[in-house]
Structure 1
Amino acid sequence: MGAQVISFPAAGRSVPSGGAVPQAAPGPDDARDSAPDYSLFLRHDPGGQAEMAFAVEGIDCAACIDEIEDAAEALPGVARARLNYTTHRLTVGWDADAEPRPDVVLQAMAKTGYRAYPFEADRLEEIENRTSRHLLRCLAVAGFAMMNIMLLSVSVWSGNVTDITPETRDLFHWLSALIALPAAAYAGQPFFQSALRALRSRSLNMDVPISLGVLLALGVSVFETLHHGEHAYFDSAVMLLFFLLTGRYLDHAMRRKTRAEAGNLAALKAMTANRVEPDGRLVTVPAAAVKPGDEVMLRAGERAPVDGVVLSGTASVDDSLVTGETLPRAVAAGETVHAGSLIHDGVLRLRTTAVGEDTFLDEIERLLDKASTARGRYIRLADRAARLYAPMVHTTALLSLVGWLLVGASVHQAVLIAVAVLIITCPCALALAVPAVQVVAAGTLMRNGVLINSGDTFERLAEIDTVAFDKTGTLTLPEPRLADEAAVPPALLAAAARLALASTHPLARAIAAAHPGAVPPEDAREVSGAGVEAQIDGVAARLGSPSFCGCQNLAAAAAAEAPDASFVAVRLGDRCAVLKVRQALRPDARAVIDELRRAGKQVVLLSGDRRAAVAPVAAALGIADWWAEARPGDKIAVLESLAAKRRRVLMVGDGINDAPSLAAAHVSLSPITAADVTRAHADAVFLGEKLGPVATALHVAAKARHLMRQNLMIAVVYNLIAVPLAIAGYVTPLVAALAMSGSSVIVTLNALRARSGARPQSARPVPAVPAVVANSAPLGAGEVA
């Protein structure tokens, strides 16, 4: 394919924005009035299998995933059930010969302890807002109670070793009880409800020992207060609730942000279409009313509502959702335009080939959801340990109680020992082992320009042995730049910059940036399909296509030298020049690629751009394995083939077309300039024009994994020492609470070591790399998918 020659219109066009407005979905409450029509939410694939998406409330940890999926898959006729932990979206598929029964799925979820209803984005957002506010209120109540009870507890602790009177101590204990009991009853709801659901389903999660420890600590404290005991443990119970609520609220906020950004994919969907009637009239109809075979008209500033083939007309089309290429594509009769593509200039007449769920845009959305759901089954390291740890805690506490009763201890003494065992083995250190490192490491990465989107990113980043890069906007800068501007006469460059300021075309920004301070001419006007013209200091000036400016010979020669570039011609009087616009490599791209290789990582390049544009980039960076003209499905196929070879792949991309492959990869990164939907499904985003944060992320993740393992080991060693002492009766509940808090402090202090990691050399400033030189390497250097 040859070089791309672009003409663009003058300024003044506006691009309408908007997205689909979903209709309200019936939920379980609606059944009281009339039976909901679930057929509205069912989707049938070509094989005849029915599928439906449900929103599920009450999911608190990754351990809920298996429980919900198992409950759905146990139903008659259900072929598969996959839960997306981020969106709380359960997708259920039925066998082709089975009758879909959504109502049975809803009943099964209710029996398991979860509330479900047909997935509807607006309703889910409303519920998530309500949940977020409830968590924040619980956190505020726990924080208020913790601070006030600690004031009273410090007085009691210091008084017990000096001269506090029993009456004063009892008064402080009663005041603590008056604060702690209602506060714990309210603030502990998220944990108590989760523990009850787990017990109803005959399983254990981390919330069960937490709830049991809090309730027993409160119960023993009330008993001690009633019997004028020296010690009460209201402070320990409320403090534990406060710190655990903090972690749960932050996790909930992170997932809400991800869901909100993912919803921006709807902004690419056109709500209406300009349908051409048989008599030639142009009628505006809802996009859903267009059928395959209908003809539609597209004008500048509009998004395509359907997939179609161009019947007539020419236009510059933003096809970035398909190819990831930021430069517009010149489209003429016989070429394909996909739904969601933006028409920059010109007019097109299309014959519709696909509508609604059959469009390429919806295919991207389905690939994205499928890949995200598959990765949603990933279970955090701490949760896996807690599954084994929780029943051991309960068994140990129960055996301690029974054992001391058998050897003749009083019920009061045996209960205190059992509570001490339960508190000292409370999985607080285990719960903090991974998140504490994540928080500190995330702060370290933030200072180095990397923002974490997913909680378990560090564990997966540390396993990476292969890095796959997209080209446009990832290895190259997102905005095209004017190349070889020194070869353009200053007067022509200044005229081009002034004319470019009168246009909204993407290439115009690159031309205008080459001459800061330029002022657009007042009389600039558009010549349809050609470019912009004006009088500059009394001399006729033009900017646009080579034919418009009379520079065909110059453009042909330039295109032969650089087939991967785009060209815009400029004429000032009788003088003419051709401006070369192309993508430039990020300044430290080569240094980062070399750093990754030295670290033992395999580097590959996956691009939707044409072969002539990808080959020079691969050669300039020394990447031997590359694919060009790869659609989203092709990229996922490459990632799956690498996964089949037991490779752990980090995908780095920025385009909407990269979103499915980002979700399908073991872990993913995207630049901050990426599309919203891409950032939403990346595990992390990086800032700035440099690629160094990618290497920094891998370096910090390796250290974070090391510290996570250390923290888990600290938690295990702590229990191996503390539990026998508690079982032997040498530890009171107060000492147990202090030991439990101490283990958490040690784990947190160890996590702070993640701040001291030295940045790899590639993350530091390096000399700028010039723009890619066309044909700098033979095309046979890689593969084409």
Structure 2
Amino acid sequence: MCCTDMALAYVEAHAAWSEANTKPSLSRDYAAFVARAADGSARAAFAVEGVRCAGCMAAIEDGLAGLPGVSSARLSFSDRRLTVTWTGEAEADIGAVLAALDALGFKAQPFAPGRLSDAEATETRRLIRALAVAGFASMNVMLLAISVWAGNVSDMTPENRDLFHWIQAMIALPAAAYAGRPFYEGAFRGLRAGRVTMDLPITLGVVLTLVMSVVESLAGAAHAYFDGATMLLFFLLIGRVLDQTMRRRTRAFAENLAALRSESATQVEAGGSLRDVPLAELRPGTRILVRPGERVPADGVVEHGASDLDQSLVTGETAAIGVRGGDPVFAGALNGDGALTVRVTAAAGTSLLDAVEELMQRALAARSRALVLADRATRLYVPLVHAAAALTLAGWLAAGAGWHAALLDAVAVLIVTCPCALGLAIPAVQVVASGALFREGVLLNDGTALERFAEIDTVVFDKTGTLTLPLPTLADGQPEGGALRLAARLALSSRHPMAAALAATAPGAEPFPGAEEAAGLGVRAVVDGVALRLGSARFCEAEAQAEAALAVHPDASVICFRAGDAAPVAFAVRQSLRPDAAAVVETLQQAGRRVLILSGDRPSAVEVVARRLGVTEWEAGLTPPDKIARIEALQRSGRRVLMVGDGLNDAPALAAAHASLSPVTAAHVSQAAADALFLGRDLAPVLAVLAAGRRARRLMLQNLWFSAAYNLVAVPLAAAGLLTPLIAALAMSGSSLVVTLNALRARTGTARQGSPAANTAPDPTRAPQLARGRP
């Protein structure tokens, strides 16, 4: 059973428990959530909350490794999915895993894609509300603080100053209590689990600043620092919201794979009766009925019937494939007009669709292991901040300063080193660069991909739908005249993609009345007593003409037409190359990048495209595991691979590559697996993302170096007592402003450097395709 099936089974069990409003028994209600493999091992998936960085991943995986029977625990940072595997001899103990995660300071629940999506939306709304509160409070508190600053150098009486301080407190204290919850909760969870997280210095800085401000107000002091605390929360929440906004939504691939599955299948009993059964009950040898318009629920072989199947999500080919008795079919393929009786060859959990999901999970988990720039910086940041503040407190106490003065200087160190600039250094560049890429026709799915785009030295293309346009057209040099006009009108009555290529040549024409489609064969009609047929070579008795057409156009497919006793005609239909494909490939090669084509299409079609583009390295007839193997071999040799593809068979390769790009017309699963999507007919966005990645990485490094230099200067000043908490807050805000202004430079220079052709702006009318993808 695959992860999506496990999630669906769990949702059903959990819904039943929810209706009963009773606490579930782990052994009873979660039994369906555990998948058993053929070797006896068990596997379960969990959605984990509170994962912020690579350190959290390591803590979870190391913490679960010691549980009895657990052979592996792998966490995907992109969708926060934790996959735990038990050995065949051990019993899967879901309760022990949940308890261990709770002890580590992380909330978890069985993985369900829809629930994960809802939780992410809820967290985003929560952060935006907190940001709004912090922004409102910081503006009003700052106005009052400015009045106090001016009064301290003029004639403001102590009574008025104290009144302004307490008004600030009435605004800042409840605002900080609400807006700072994301940080307080993260710090508390970490402490409860014995871990120190980035949220701890933030929490200490805010809380100690507020406490010191209240103490100073009670003492009638000249300064309070409520403005520093609220401003700190406001800037930090900006970084947190930006990070949440740009976070990779890879969870979509699980939802998209679930959409390709049927929840049940129609089983054909021994006596011919029909019965709906869950997918989990299907076994090899079971006979099932696939009605017109349904998706094939499991891999199998056709026993009876004929139809056209849209297998584009499996093979990458947009042309529907005619199937009849003895032909293989795959789960997820969309059936056309004919009913099929299929003998199942792969049990639930072992279909090609399941294999693709498993490959994607492994690839995503492997890519999550790589640390991005922010993770590398934060690994050293937290202990250094704590050490600096503790040393400041201890040093002043040892020097004979009182607790008040020593604590004030320690708080100044915490404030001046709060990771505001560091928190904005990466997300700010990501957001600005993604906006610039959008103007170039590129939709960035994952902000962290910009760093990987900067490192690319090898580009791997799929052929169909990537180097070529998604919709087929008639090849050059086709027969014209009456045969083409008749075939085009007859094609209007067919839903076959190749028929659509013919129909496009007759704009404004009307279909022949009485035309009917023969499932899996073609379409026919009788016009003025003449029988017209359009479809496969066998249907039109045009095998010889089809072979001749393929000899001239080896990269094309053939659709045939016959009118009565006249000689049949074969039309070559193929997918045209994208207008700038050759120029883009040439630009990549001139820049010193290695270019390959890895396709699941037949060798003759791939060879023609490779020759036209000047690509010497190409392979054809590859399965999803084959593509991953080729990409992993390249990466083991030290290459940084960009994968550009569009079909379900490309999705695992997109996830396995160092970075990935997909057209907006791609399959849902490929859209989810890709780091970025591009619009329009041009291939030039490949150059755009590489140029944007290089510039973004350069700006990120500049921001990180500035943050480091800022701390090297500010920390000694604060530790020496030369900075009050107020000045520390202003310095921290100024560093954030510098980082943000530098990030705005990502708006320029993201245009396609060396682009062979200017791409058109994104077409708003095509936006719905982003959600639809292929059927």
TM-score using structure 1 length: 0.89
Q: Tell me if 1:203 matches 2:195.
A: yes
Q: Which residue of 1 aligns with 2:616?
A: 624
Q: Which residue of 1 aligns with 2:504?
A: 513
| Local SS of the residue matching 1:304 | coil
Q: 2:265 & 2:334 partners in 1: Cα distance?
A: 13
Aligned ranges 1:527-538 → 2 under 5 Å = 527=518, 529-534=520-525
Q: 1:113 & 1:364 partners in 2: Cα distance?
A: 33
Q: Which residue of 1 aligns with 2:84?
A: 92
Change in CA separation of 1:645 and 1:725 when aligned onto 2, cut-off 3 Å: same
Q: 1:35 & 1:715 partners in 2: Cα distance?
A: 48
Q: Which residue of 1 aligns with 2:335?
A: 343
Match of residue 659, structure 1, among 651, 656, 659: 651
Deviation at 1:539? 7.7
Q: Which residue of 2 aligns with 1:781?
A: none
Deviations 1:563-621 (A, max 9, x none): 33122234568686432210111111111111111222111111111111111111111
Greater CA deviation, 110-119 or 211-220? 110-119
Match of residue 360, structure 2, among 353, 356, 368: 368
| Local SS of the residue matching 1:468 | strand
Q: Which residue of 1 aligns with 2:387?
A: 395
Change in CA separation of 1:160 and 1:260 when aligned onto 2, cut-off 3 Å: farther
Q: Whose relative contact order is higher, 1 or 2, with alpha carbons under 8 Å and at least 6 apart?
A: 1
Match of residue 467, structure 2, among 472, 475, 488: 475
| Local SS of the residue matching 2:232 | helix
Q: Which residue of 2 aligns with 1:447?
A: 439
| Local SS of the residue matching 1:669 | strand
Deviation at 1:528? 5.1
Q: 1:256 & 1:639 partners in 2: Cα distance?
A: 22
Deviations 1:470-503 (A, max 9, x none): 111111111111222x643254444333332222
Match of residue 206, structure 2, among 194, 209, 214: 214
Greater CA deviation, 45-54 or 462-471? 45-54
Deviation at 1:257? 4.6
Q: Tell me if 1:647 matches 2:635.
A: no
Change in CA separation of 1:49 and 1:391 when aligned onto 2, cut-off 3 Å: same
Q: Which residue of 2 aligns with 1:555?
A: 546
Change in CA separation of 1:352 and 1:391 when aligned onto 2, cut-off 3 Å: same
Deviations 1:488-521 (A, max 9, x none): 3254444333332222222233222233333334
Change in CA separation of 1:166 and 1:261 when aligned onto 2, cut-off 3 Å: farther
Deviation at 1:347? 4.2
Greater CA deviation, 534-543 or 520-529? 534-543
Deviation at 1:353? 0.8
Q: Which residue of 2 aligns with 1:776?
A: none
Deviation at 1:73? 0.9
Q: Which residue of 2 aligns with 1:184?
A: 176
1:686 is aligned with what amino acid? F
Q: 1:324 & 1:482 partners in 2: Cα distance?
A: 19
For the 8 Å contact 2:499–2:559, the answer to whether it is kept is no
Change in CA separation of 1:677 and 1:528 when aligned onto 2, cut-off 3 Å: closer
Q: Tell me if 1:671 matches 2:671.
A: no
Deviations 1:3-26 (A, max 9, x none): xxxxxxxxxxxxxxxx97863455
Q: Which residue of 1 aligns with 2:167?
A: 175
Q: Tell me if 1:744 matches 2:736.
A: yes
Q: 2:738 & 2:186 partners in 1: Cα distance?
A: 28
1:505 is aligned with what amino acid? H
For the 8 Å contact 2:441–2:759, the answer to whether it is kept is no
Q: Which residue of 2 aligns with 1:23?
A: 11
Match of residue 452, structure 2, among 451, 460, 466: 460
Structure 2 spans left out of the alignment, 5+ residues: 1-6, 761-775
Change in CA separation of 1:409 and 1:24 when aligned onto 2, cut-off 3 Å: same
Deviations 1:117-154 (A, max 9, x none): 33233444444444333333322322222232233223
Q: Which residue of 2 aligns with 1:635?
A: 627
Q: 1:264 & 1:106 partners in 2: Cα distance?
A: 27
For the 8 Å contact 1:545–1:569, the answer to whether it is kept is yes
Structure 1 spans left out of the alignment, 5+ residues: 1-18, 769-785
For the 8 Å contact 2:131–2:179, the answer to whether it is kept is yes
2:686 is aligned with what amino acid? V
1:241 is aligned with what amino acid? L
Q: CA RMSD in A?
A: 2.7
Q: Which residue of 2 aligns with 1:316?
A: 308
For the 8 Å contact 2:661–2:675, the answer to whether it is kept is yes
For the 8 Å contact 1:149–1:176, the answer to whether it is kept is yes
Deviation at 1:764? 4.8
Change in CA separation of 1:131 and 1:24 when aligned onto 2, cut-off 3 Å: farther
Q: 1:455 & 1:340 partners in 2: Cα distance?
A: 31
Change in CA separation of 1:239 and 1:126 when aligned onto 2, cut-off 3 Å: same
Q: 1:39 & 1:120 partners in 2: Cα distance?
A: 15
2:600 is aligned with what amino acid? G
Match of residue 62, structure 2, among 70, 76, 94: 70
Q: Which residue of 2 aligns with 1:500?
A: 491
For the 8 Å contact 1:152–1:176, the answer to whether it is kept is yes
Q: 2:151 & 2:472 partners in 1: Cα distance?
A: 72
Greater CA deviation, 748-757 or 299-308? 299-308
Greater CA deviation, 727-736 or 755-764? 755-764
Deviation at 1:312? 4.1
For the 8 Å contact 1:322–1:631, the answer to whether it is kept is no
Identity of aligned residues (%): 54
Q: Which residue of 1 aligns with 2:764?
A: none
Q: 2:69 & 2:537 partners in 1: Cα distance?
A: 64
Deviation at 1:249? 3.2
| Local SS of the residue matching 1:578 | strand
Deviation at 1:664? 1.3
| Local SS of the residue matching 2:345 | strand
| Local SS of the residue matching 1:668 | strand
Change in CA separation of 1:230 and 1:502 when aligned onto 2, cut-off 3 Å: farther
For the 8 Å contact 2:360–2:651, the answer to whether it is kept is yes
Q: Which residue of 1 aligns with 2:773?
A: none
For the 8 Å contact 2:284–2:347, the answer to whether it is kept is yes
Q: 2:755 & 2:367 partners in 1: Cα distance?
A: 29
Q: 1:493 & 1:234 partners in 2: Cα distance?
A: 79
Q: Which residue of 2 aligns with 1:356?
A: 348
Q: Which residue of 2 aligns with 1:423?
A: 415
Change in CA separation of 1:761 and 1:522 when aligned onto 2, cut-off 3 Å: farther
For the 8 Å contact 1:481–1:511, the answer to whether it is kept is yes
Match of residue 566, structure 1, among 530, 549, 557: 557
1:296 is aligned with what amino acid? I
Q: 1:575 & 1:354 partners in 2: Cα distance?
A: 44
Aligned ranges 1:36-55 → 2 under 5 Å = 36-37=27-28, 38-55=30-47
Q: Tell me if 1:433 matches 2:425.
A: yes
Deviations 1:89-142 (A, max 9, x none): 211112333333222111111111122233233444444444333333322322
| Local SS of the residue matching 1:587 | coil
Change in CA separation of 1:414 and 1:489 when aligned onto 2, cut-off 3 Å: same
Change in CA separation of 1:571 and 1:164 when aligned onto 2, cut-off 3 Å: farther
